[in-house]
Structure 1
Amino acid sequence: MSSAAIATLLKMMESLPVDVQEQVAEHLREYIYDLQDENRWNESFQRTEQKLVAAAKRAKQEIAEGQATVMDYDQL
């Protein structure tokens, strides 16, 4: 985002009552935290995607060969 866009947002916020400014700031913080979290997830997934694909292929092969067993979730 350019500094002009940020300046525009600040001017818009400054025109609001202080309590509303606080609400907007809180919403923006939450939104930015969510975006950062999503970016971390995407980066993590990209680093491990090939391993996940390999594990899925291996599992599919084991199922086809009859080597897979049903997981008993009550035993975990």
Structure 2
Amino acid sequence: MPEIVATELDQVNADWEKLKQWSKPVLTLFSDKDPFLADRDYDEKFQQNFSGAKHQPHTTIKNASHFLQEDQSEQLADKVIH
């Protein structure tokens, strides 16, 4: 994943352009209580930027914060498997 904190904007933009070329299936799972990402439409931005995200069962993991894999590991695993 590209750097979250941009120190070299040109490099970050180049990394994103490479990721946008990814055509394999992409599933996005965000948490509802993330203090940095919740309610900021990042899920939609990711889904729109990756062709492999189309027709995937994207969802928001409930009762999870920034580290949703720790807060709701079973719910996360279930969404990935199904």
TM-score by length of 1: 0.31
* Between structures 1 and 2, the one with greater strand share: 2
Give the number of the structure with larger relative contact order, counting CA–CA contacts within 8 Å between residues 6 or more apart.
2
Radius of gyration: which is bigger?
A: 1
Point out the structure with the larger helix share.
1
